[in-house]
């Protein structure tokens, strides 16, 4: 066992002495040591109950012949951090989480791991750390929250609350109605109930084969979810107790390989996941040592039909509805009917292949999960746009577009999200405009803020189908409308987005994958000669470190290691 390095032999007597201080007895030293990586934190709705989840999991691990050791990672709630400088720390937290997983698991030579994430950066951070450690790992998330309801019975969620602010600003709803939405939008613990970033990533873990069926859709705080926790704990013990060579078969890099990455993107397309999944999956692909690149996303999109539309794209449908309609396995089974090598038959942590896992699944409600003969779109719900404004790419959630897929408009430029929010409220944005928010990329922010506040204001003001928005920052999974993020190169590194001026004509054609500023080469050359990127003053030592090491969004905003 890997853990023999810290527990076997006379020279490890001091190590065993320390372990005995934690409660271990003689017979425990012959058992596999399982890391229980928990992301319990009391301020995040998807995480405040995970201390109870870990108790269930540790109880099951002990009952099945292994020794659990729980440790924790940090977490940031993007919704609470949104709209102020706290959001600068959200994306960087992914790197801290990955580093903490790698640190604890490798420092103590634990044999295997069960990871308990749920929200936003915590899921990809844990996956990235697990790939570095490369031992058998089962992921089991806390689960999605139930959808809320207004007094009149309309289903709502977090995106409703953000958009309600814009509606209130526009005088379309009263203070009483706003308060009702505030109090009902998030009715329980769990990751926010739509296909936002957290549930997108929890869903994609099923497609990657690192989590059990139901991980993305079974509601939090239910008996069904508790049984999933127990199944996951039993499974990691089964693997940890295997003979060495058989156990190695389930190392993370053997499960999460390039086929798994491609399967994740395919399911993402079919279900219209958050645009943040592109950022995180690119980072995961690099940690896994695959050759997957941003330009491969459109190749997959062309082969995948969009068959499940979930809030915020379809505000009446939430994760619990997908679960009742057959879950992610039903989506994958329906996708597989199309052929074209959309779903690659890869090994999963269960011991079955993807195709064996989904072979008996079926759609139970075709109004919720459409068939491939009746898709919402013949192509996937995400696209990568290119052009002089994004020579290295930009991302749009096509599943969330509310207006035309072709748009030409005049630039209205803002050098920060705060400027944009103030400008939108002051009426500086009108129908036909393209809102440009720059210096919010990984370096420029630094930290790549999410733009849910400005996009929600635009929707709340009734401009969702009348304006477009481009940014070198990113969007919450709750964003909808013609919102294009991850523009690379970003303004802080001299990208054309930083050279734009108010009134410049911008052309967007989603189906032709175009994001173009209609400027002459001579004009661009003159502006470049006079251009000096803004470098924001920051006091945070961590954000200064992050800014000096981070790459742009086209490579997943990973940290550079090539100078070490």
Residues tagged active-site: 476
User: Cα(first)–Cα(last) distance of the chain, in Å?
Assistant: 31
Asked if 546 and 92 touch (Cβ cutoff 8 Å), the reply is: yes
Tokens of 116: 């308990």
CA distances from 564 to 247, 551, 561 (A): 33, 15, 6
Tokens representing 28?
A: 């425990």
The encoded tokens of residue 446 equal 């630094």
Instruction: Match 């204001």 to its residue by tokens.
Output: 457
- Burial class (CB within 10 angstroms; exposed 0-12, middle 13-18, buried 19+) of 335: buried
User: Shortest CA distance to 192 belongs to which of 479, 478, 451?
Assistant: 478
327 dihedral zone (left: phi>0; alpha: psi -120 to 50; beta): left
Of 139, 486, 422, 93, residue with least CA distance to 278: 486
Q: Which of 66, 39, 41 is nearest to 140 (CA)?
A: 39
DSSP H/E element including 474: none
List the beta bridge partners of residue 234.
Answer: none
CA 91/CA 121 separation, integer angstroms: 6
Give phi and psi for 169, each to the nearest 5: -60, -35
CA angle 179, 180, 184 (to 5 degrees): 115
CB 78 within 8 A of CB 253: no
Looking up tokens 């497609």 gives 207
The conformation of residue 488, written as its DSSP 8-state character, comes to: E
CB 331 within 8 A of CB 365: no
Instruction: Report which of 197, 222, 233 is spatially closest to residue 323, judged by C-alpha positions.
Output: 222
Q: CA–CA separation, 309 vs 324, rounded Å?
A: 14
């Amino acid at each position: 066992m890997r853990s023999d390095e810290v527990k076997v032999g006379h020279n490890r007597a001091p190590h065993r002495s320390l372990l005995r201080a934690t409660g271990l007895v003689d017979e425990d030293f012959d058992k596999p040591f399982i890391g229980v990586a928990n992301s319990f934190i009391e301020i995040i709705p998807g995480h405040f109950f995970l201390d109870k989840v870990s108790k269930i999991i540790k109880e099951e691990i002990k009952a099945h012949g292994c020794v659990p050791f729980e440790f924790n990672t940090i977490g940031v709630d993007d919704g609470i951090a949104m709209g102020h400088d706290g959001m600068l720390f959200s994306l960087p937290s992914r790197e801290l989480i990955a580093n903490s997983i790698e640190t604890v698991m490798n420092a103590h030579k634990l044999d295997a791991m069960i990871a308990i994430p749920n929200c936003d950066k915590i899921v990809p951070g844990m996956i990235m750390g697990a790939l570095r450690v490369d031992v058998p790992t089962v992921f089991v998330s806390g689960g999605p929250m139930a959808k809320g309801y207004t007094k009149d019975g309309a289903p709502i969620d977090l995106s409703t609350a953000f958009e309600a602010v814009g509606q209130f600003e526009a005088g379309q709803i009263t203070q009483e109605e706003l308060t009702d939405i505030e109090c009902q939008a998030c009715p329980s613990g769990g990751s926010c109930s739509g296909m936002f970033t957290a549930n997108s990533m929890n869903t994609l873990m099923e497609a990657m084969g690192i989590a059990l069926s139901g991980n993305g859709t079974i509601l939090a705080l239910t008996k069904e979810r508790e049984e999933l926790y127990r199944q996951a704990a039993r499974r990691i013990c089964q693997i940890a107790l295997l003979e060495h060579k058989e156990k190695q078969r389930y190392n993370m890099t053997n499960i999460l390989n390039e086929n798994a990455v491609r399967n994740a993107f395919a399911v993402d397309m079919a279900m219209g996941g958050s645009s943040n999944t592109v950022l995180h999956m690119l980072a995961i692909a690099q940690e896994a040592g695959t050759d997957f690149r941003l330009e491969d996303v459109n190749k997959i999109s062309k082969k995948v039909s969009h068959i499940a539309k979930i809030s915020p794209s379809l505000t009446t449908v939430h994760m619990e509805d997908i679960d009742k309609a057959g879950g992610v396995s039903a989506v994958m089974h329906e996708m597989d009917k199309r052929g074209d090598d959309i779903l690659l038959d890869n090994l999963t942590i269960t011991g079955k292949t993807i195709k064996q896992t989904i072979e008996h699944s079926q759609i139970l409600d075709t109004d919720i999960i459409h068939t491939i003969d009746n898709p919402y779109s013949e192509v996937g719900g995400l696209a990568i746009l290119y052009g002089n404004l994004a020579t290295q790419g930009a991302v749009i959630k096509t599943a969330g577009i509310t207006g035309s897929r072709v748009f030409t408009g005049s630039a209205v430029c803002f050098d920060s999200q705060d400027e944009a929010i103030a400008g939108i409220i002051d009426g500086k944005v009108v129908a036909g405009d393209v809102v440009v928010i720059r210096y919010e990329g990984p370096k420029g922010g630094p930290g790549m803020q999410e733009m849910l506040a400005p996009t929600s204001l635009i929707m709340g003001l009734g401009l969702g189908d009348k304006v477009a928005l481009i940014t070198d920052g990113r969007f919450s999974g709750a964003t909808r409308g013609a919102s294009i993020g991850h523009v690379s190169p970003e303004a802080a590194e001299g990208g054309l987005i930083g050279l734009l001026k108010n009134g410049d004509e911008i052309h967007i054609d989603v189906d032709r994958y175009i994001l173009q500023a209609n400027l002459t080469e001579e004009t661009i050359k003159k502006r470049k000669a006079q251009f000096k990127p803004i470098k924001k003053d920051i006091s945070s030592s961590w954000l200064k470190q992050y800014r000096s090491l981070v790459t742009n969004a086209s490579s997943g905003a990973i940290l550079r290691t090539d100078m070490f």
